[in-house]
Structure 1
Amino acid sequence: MSTEKYLTPDEVSERYRGEISVGTLRNWRSLRIGPSFIKIGKAILYPSPELDLWDQKNVVACRSKKIVDNSSD
């Protein structure tokens, strides 16, 4: 038995604190962009592991700040 959790579009919107609306998710599905989803009949479900992978693809790496050593002056 799978312990994988599936989220509805409302739950996905909540996961991202409302920054991604249900309407945006709908548009992304029609364009085949955004996180992967499963469609069973009319039900749309987002597997949590797929959302985690999508999060990782959207991580923005920042350069670490260089520390200047002025102790030799």
Structure 2
Amino acid sequence: MDGVRYLTPEEVAERYRGGISLGTLRNWRSMRIGPSFVKIGKAVLYPIAELDASDEQNRVACRASMPLIESLDDQR
């Protein structure tokens, strides 16, 4: 293809260690939600860069534990 790397739905499910099933990917495609994909004939492919971008968009930031520890030390 054009130098872009792709994963099959099976590889995407494996990437997320079973957290996303093939059925979920199929449902997301039909509802046009989830990571972007390319369809060539019957083949469905997910660009790895799109998966990475989707991961980043869904990242949940947690507060750093260091300021919490420092504030506990200050209270003593």
Q: TM over 0.5: same fold? A: yes
Q: 1:1-73, aligned counterparts within 5 Å?
A: 2-65=2-65, 66=68, 67-68=70-71, 69-70=73-74
Structure 2: gaps of 5 or more residues: none
Q: Deviations over 1:41-66 (max 9, x none)?
A: 11100000000000000100112232
AA partner of residue 31 (structure 1): M
TM-score calculated relative to the size of structure 1: 0.87
Q: Distance in 2 between matches of 1:26 and 1:42?
A: 13
Structure 1: gaps of 5 or more residues: none
Q: Deviations over 1:5-52 (max 9, x none)?
A: 110000000000011001000000001110000011111000000000
Higher helix residue share = 2
TM-score calculated relative to the size of structure 2: 0.84
Moved over 4 A (4+): none
Q: Distance in 1 between matches of 2:51 and 2:2?
A: 17
Q: Distance in 1 between matches of 2:12 and 2:63?
A: 30
Q: Distance in 2 between matches of 1:21 and 1:49?
A: 20
